Amino acid sequence: MHAALSLNSGSSSIKFALYTFESDSSEPTLLCQGEFEGIPNMLHFTAHDSKNSLDDETIEGKANFKTALSHLFNWIKTTYPQVQLTAAGHRIVHGGERYGDSVRIDEDVLNYLDMLIPLAPLHQPHNIAGIRTLQSLHPTLPQVACFDTSFHHIQPKLATLFALPQHFWDEGIRRYGFHGLSYHYISEILPELIGEKSKGRVVIAHLGHGASMCALKDLKSSATTMGLTALDGLPMGTRCGSIDPGVLLYLLSEKGYSIEDLTNLLYKKSGLLGLSGVSDDMRELLNTNTPRAMEAINYFCYHIQRELGSLVAVLGGLDVLVFTGGIGENASTIRQKVCEGLKWLNIEFDEVLNSSLPSHTAIQISTPQSQASVWVIPTNEEIIIAKDVVKLTQGG
């Protein structure tokens, strides 16, 4: 039985999903998924299939990528002896100008991805480390890079420009957009849920520790809230979102900030954490009854509404609004707060349905009378990675 592995390597964790597929088919089937947490302190491994927990243990040894991936491959071999792992795919946050599609990894690809680290310092180094670690452990295993930026490559030039001299755009300083694997999945599943209406004016809100929104027309990206980096747009767990560039000039010239200071501030100390002074976790903020926590929540929802207005203007109206991502799928309070400010779109919101959603299920939370339908759809970036792995390594 052939299998493909989807990997998402972060600063403190590695998420994985294992898919089986027929050699002549490009439609993978989920076998199991799980996560390594606790890097670089104490490595903990969990795995489950669609019905049962398969493993939950602390791993001895150094808590690093090499230990984790070595354990994972041994675990797969022991747990699924009938499985032949034929390739692996990696979520890569930034693909720059070069990659509008997923690509087989070689040294040239890796060198280019290294060059993009300054544009995605929170994610790119760890994404690349996952690839290089797997190369060292299994040098003959084909690997595929799947990019969060690729989905937005077809946007019109006007949507990708900054108001800077043209040579900057020519040099690759432009809006790329992110969360493309998530948007790609929603664009694939939406026609199954709502038919032809999916080709209309759709806005997807991917709300998690990182957050962005995307306008789709004919199921293709028309505009998105993130730009050159994953700092732009909505406020996030620790990232600032949109900010007046003059603030940064002021901090540099008048407050003695260095580039390192600014990078640390904007990527790691801002967003919900900076506003609340409590946490970067929306679940904790919703359970914290302090003025600053409430202000952070309200700021987050306000900017979702504000960005939605901008995207609706690009589309010329709204037919479908989709919530996805960790917050979008699980925080009913956030969905309600956002939708309460959308009466100008003639959205009618079912509060009872919103507050009692079954987990891991796509469901409509607007009323039949609502002018635009509102959906909660669990995302699945891993299946998009697995499909591209099969396509690029098996000729499917």
How many Å separate Cα 12 from the centre of its chain?
16
**Residue 24 known to be catalytic:** no
As given in the structure block, the two tokens for residue 315 are: 């589309």
Nearest to 361 by CA among 189, 200, 152: 189
Alpha-carbon span 186 to 388, nearest angstrom = 16
- Measure Cα distances from 209 to 99, 237, 251, 282 in Å: 25, 5, 25, 8
Catalytic residue among 148, 232, 280, 388: 148
Nearest to 145 by CA among 282, 7, 296: 7
For 235-282, the DSSP string reads --SS---S--HHHHHHHHHHS---HHHHHHHHHHS-HHHHHHSS-S-H
As given in the structure block, the two tokens for residue 132 are: 């290089």
Q: Is residue 46 within 8 Å of 55, Cβ to Cβ?
A: yes
Residues noted as catalytic: 148
